[in-house]
């Protein structure tokens, strides 16, 4: 299997793209394996997900270009739909996820990272959406998630030029959440998630939903979404435990219920 994942003792799942000989490029078979792994992780006891690429040269260099050539129109449409479906499943996981970018994250590789809740990059990371250089455009969510993350102007600059963005600029743009100097992407990702996964997964999921759904609509409608999800959060066992623990001056013991 070229997609591998394991659940650590701290209940953080680590998913690895394991094709270092081709810079972890995304073939359609790899996308299907990735989608199945996301399904399996969603049904596990994982409280967070770290996505890494094998080797030290690339997180994921993008699509498997030779596989994209000479395909019929419907095959191209189905291929884009597959990529979007898999990355949507990643984006909609009920647990937070972080992509740890070491080396290259181009095209579909950056789109994969954009579908995660967070992105951490090492100092050697390079990112971009170079599809325009091939006479193409991003097809796995890049034209939609990138502008929502860094703004329309910066996103169009990257997409229309196809240029490469270094880690320091990515941090300034808000493309990544943290810049790290490490030889262990897995540990960097787990360290990033550690203060998040200690909280109620229900609370963090509701908070993510409020932000993400609110970003797609007006402020007025966003406030309605926040009100409803906040009210729903009060009904959980974890909310009762959290407030009781606060009054008793002890750490809360959340059960994700």
Active-site position among 45, 67, 111, 152: 111
225 Cβ contact list (under 8 Å, min separation 6): 209, 210, 213, 214, 217
Longest pairwise C-alpha distance within the chain: 66
**Residue 117, helix vs strand vs coil:** coil
Do the beta carbons of residue 177 and residue 118 sit within 8 Å?
Answer: yes
Active-site position among 131, 169, 183, 187: 131
- C-alpha distance from residue 47 to each of 18, 66, 194, 256 (Å): 23, 37, 10, 10
Q: Is 131 a catalytic residue?
A: yes
CA distance linking residue 59 with residue 53, whole number of Å: 4
Retrieve residue 143's tokens.
Answer: 């034209």
Q: Is 226 a catalytic residue?
A: no
Strands ordered across the beta sheet of 178-180: 3-7, 12-17, 48-53, 97-101, 118-122, 178-180
CA distance linking residue 41 with residue 35, whole number of Å: 10
What are the residue numbers of the active site? 111, 131
């Amino acid at each position: 299997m070229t997609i591998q994942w394991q659940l650590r003792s701290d209940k953080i799942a680590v998913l690895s793209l394991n094709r270092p000989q081709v810079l972890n490029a995304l073939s359609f078979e790899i996308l299907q394996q990735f989608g199945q792994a996301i399904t399996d992780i969603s049904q596990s006891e994982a409280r967070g997900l770290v996505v890494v690429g094998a080797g030290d040269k690339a997180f994921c260099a993008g699509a498997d270009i030779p596989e994209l050539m000479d395909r019929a129109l419907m095959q191209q449409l189905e291929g884009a739909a597959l990529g979007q479906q898999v990355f949507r499943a990643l984006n909609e996981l009920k647990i937070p996820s972080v992509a740890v970018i070491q080396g290259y994250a181009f095209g579909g590789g950056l789109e994969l990272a954009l579908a995660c809740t967070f992105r951490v990059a090492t100092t050697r990371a390079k990112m971009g959406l170079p599809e325009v250089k091939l006479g193409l455009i991003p097809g796995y969510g890049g034209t939609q998630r990138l502008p929502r993350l860094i703004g329309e102007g910066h996103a169009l600059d990257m997409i229309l030029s196809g240029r490469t963005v270094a880690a320091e600029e990515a941090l300034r743009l808000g493309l990544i959440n943290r810049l790290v100097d490490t030889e262990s992407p897995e540990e960097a990702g787990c360290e990033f998630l550690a203060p998040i996964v200690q909280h109620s997964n229900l609370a963090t999921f509701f908070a993510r939903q409020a932000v993400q759904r609110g970003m797609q609509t007006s402020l007025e409608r966003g406030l309605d979404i926040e009100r409803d999800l906040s009210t729903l959060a009060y009904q959980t066992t974890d909310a009762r435990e959290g407030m009781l623990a606060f009054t008793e001056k002890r750490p809360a013991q959340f059960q994700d219920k």
